[in-house]
Amino acid sequence: MQRYIGEILLVVTAIIWGSGFVASAVALDYYSPYQILAGRFLIGAIILSAVFYKKWTKVNKSTLVKGAILGIFLYLAFALQTVGLQYTTPSKNAFLTAVNVVIVPFIGFFLYKRKMDMYELSGAILAIVGVAVLSLKLSSEINIGDLLTLGCAVGFAFHIFYTAKFVKEEDPVALTIIQMIVAAIISWIVVLTRGEASFSLETEGMMNLLYLGVFSTTIAYLMQTVAQKYITETKAAIILSTESFWGMAFSVVILSEVMTYKMILGAILILIAIIVSETKFSFLKKNKIKSIT
């Protein structure tokens, strides 16, 4: 059962992030993108620090440095994604963000000379194709928003990669607390610099911001960090790419979007990508051996 802990936690994380698309869409009617980031990271930092206050005994210089690195990557990725969304379409934004699934194995290969698992790489590429079919509207135009979103994909790829690396050396919960605090500090500096310190107190806006802070940030990132102790960074990126599928599913159910054949095909491709990465077709090899004997 323990070998499946990482997969289960990451699937739940992707589902929560998918539901977050709806909450973000509603919250943007009341807050600026930078206010949403400041609010969700502050909520995450407060809850984690309060609930896991005993974990502060496990925080040392090494944890602070590694947590700060993750916090910086986390904020930069979200900020680039948010700003990019102002100049490009939501479908392109979702697809280009998911490109991180292909970038992750190459970070290990080029920076740390790690051998690439061809099944995981194939699964990553297939996942990207699935996300493209699911969310991308064909257009050859590339603008500043697309480039910023690609930068966001690089940021998320580094965040996933270094999370996998750091959780092998540090306590996952302590690491999550530090990265959340660092992301909150950066986001509030940005909000105050931009003169956006005044927040709307309307119930609908606050409830959706609270949802993003508690579920999409606190719970989801805690589960991601813990999960990556049990799973490779490439597998993690592939499973997390299902966020786009869950975002589509929640949009269909809650926002009454119409489900299309393209959506179904994209979801099937992402599912196949996960099966390829997870099983490496081991079930076919077993059947082949049985047929020979």
Rg (CA), the chain: 19
CA dihedral of 237, 257, 88, 271, whole degrees rounded to 10: 20
In the chain, the N- to C-terminal Cα span, in Å, equals: 30
Q: Are 226 and 172 in contact (CB under 8 A)?
A: yes
The pLDDT value given to residue 135: 65
* 3-class DSSP state of 73: helix
The pLDDT value given to residue 257: 67
The pLDDT value given to residue 45: 97
The pLDDT value given to residue 142: 65
The pLDDT value given to residue 260: 75
The pLDDT value given to residue 1: 62
- What does the alpha-carbon distance between residue 56 and residue 181 come to, in Å, rounded to a whole number? 13
Cβ neighbour number for residue 141 with a 10 Å cutoff: 8
Q: Are 10 and 236 in contact (CB under 8 A)?
A: yes
The pLDDT value given to residue 276: 81
Cβ neighbour number for residue 12 with a 10 Å cutoff: 15
User: For residue 111, what are the CA distances in angstroms to 40, 103, 118, 124, 211?
Assistant: 32, 12, 18, 19, 37
Which residues of the chain are modeled with pLDDT < 50?
283, 289-290
CA atoms within 13 A on the CB side of 233: 24
* 3-class DSSP state of 156: helix
* 3-class DSSP state of 270: helix
| Paired tokens of 96 | 């280009």
Count of H helices and E strands in the chain? 14, 0
The pLDDT value given to residue 216: 93
The pLDDT value given to residue 161: 95
- What does the alpha-carbon distance between residue 30 and residue 169 come to, in Å, rounded to a whole number? 41
The pLDDT value given to residue 94: 73
Of 153, 109, 131, the C-alpha closest to 272 is: 131
